[in-house]
Amino acid sequence: VQYQHLYVLPVLLMEFLAIALTRAVLPSILIQQYGSNVYLILGCADCVRGVLAFFACPLFGKLSDVLGRKLCLFVTVLGSCAPVCSLAFFTWDVAESDMISDKGSIFSSTFTLVFAYISDSVHERNERVTAYGLALATFGLSFTIGPMAGGYLANSKTDYVFQCSLVLTLLDLLYIYMILPESISPRIDLFTKMEGIANSISWSPWDSIRLVLHDPFLRKIGQVAFFYYTGLWAVLSTLSLYAVQHFKMTPQVLGELMSCLGLSTMVAEAILIRWLVPMLGEKQTIRVGLISFGLQCIVLGAANEPWQLFLCVGLSLLGNLVYPSLSSLVSGIVEPKKVGEALGAINGIKALTEGIGPLFFGTLMTFSEGTAFPGSPYWLAGILVFVAYHLADKLPANSEPS
């Protein structure tokens, strides 16, 4: 199928739009529910989610290599959206949603599968980078539309936000089942050869860690990913709460901030990535992105006015180039039949940092409350990112195999 990779974009758009709709509404609900302990409690919840996702990402990468991408995408979308959909039935029961979210995170491997799907369909280096950027731009589009739309919907009735998320999830699942073409020929039929599936792959998540540790190239990628994503989760897990807690942002203003950040993601990954990687190569693009994100952390740590949070939108533009460039580097060097497993291993490390980062930085944010610089933990995140910048110097210059 020509331009087959485009078929996977609506999957991303609907899934993350369903999630993004709730981003302007949840922070105020969470603060009401948990009060001054909100950072610590959510850090613990994110830690559980991250650990479960750490085990799930490599497994789904391997399963998709055997069963095909389509079936695994159906399961991961269902698992990822289950928490926000649950709030359509258990309105205001955030604890119930957190519990479902913790369990659902074991299925949250969408990007592993989407990038593997693209790798199956696009083989030329520059086109593959563009396709990855387009996928992440679609993610950015969902977070451009979603938070602002959710903020305005909440002005009418908060229930509408979660009901819309439920409808989008159902449409996404229907699209995958009815329309999305398979990108590879499944090597095993799920319904007739369950024993063959069990014997054809290793079920231990530690195999992927061993893969990263023993493969020199993946080890370097893994080191960069670990430090970068640990710092990134410091921002992702706390920024919306920080904006509401310290700058008293309303759901509408917070939605506008989140939408601006989503727009920067879309611009970076739909436009900038298309000429920066061919011009600089993946390695230098990664380093440029790391510098930009490190500066963003410094500004966040010193911010004392709401407009300074909007200033970070400009710095996040180049910071959004790191993930597609890393993925392109992996896809170009790893053997094609192992791309799903390799991307799953790297995303497993990303998921592990999702467990470490929010818990560690949530604790720091709790202790920094009431100090002269309540955003000072973001400076530590910036230091971790600059460590990743130093480690990125050891990466190969581009994704063309030697």
The number of residues making up the chain comes to 402
pLDDT at 10: 95
Contact 385, 228 (CB under 8 A): yes
Domains of the chain: 4-180+204-392 (1.20.1250.20)
What DSSP line would sit under 79-112, residue for residue?
HHHHHHHHTTTSTT-HHHHHHHHHHHGGG--HHH
Residue type, 297: C
CA distance 161 to 197: 40
Question: Would you state the pLDDT for residue 372?
Answer: 82
CB 228 within 8 A of CB 290: yes
Of 189-193, 228-232, 387-391, the least confident? 189-193
Q: What pLDDT digit, counting tens, does each position of 127-169 carry?
A: 887 888 788 788 888 988 988 898 888 888 888 888 999 999 9
User: Chain-wide mean pLDDT for the chain?
Assistant: 81
| Span of 103-117, 259-273, 351-365, 387-401 with lowest mean pLDDT | 103-117
pTM, to two decimals: 0.73
In degrees rounded to 5, what are phi and psi of residue 220?
-65, -45
Q: Which residues of 258-292 are buried (b: 16+ CB within 10 A; e: fewer)?
A: bbbbbbbbbbbbbebbbebbeebbbbbbbbbbbbb
What local confidence, expressed as pLDDT, does residue 115 receive?
Answer: 83
User: pLDDT-based confidence at 98, cuts 50/70/90?
Assistant: low
**pLDDT at position 301 over 60:** yes
- Let me know: does 289 contact 381? Beta carbons within 8 Å: no
What tokens appear for 79 in the block? 């698992």
The rounded distance, in Å, linking the Cα atoms of 95 and 88 is 14
Q: How far apart are CA 262 and CA 317, in angstroms?
A: 10
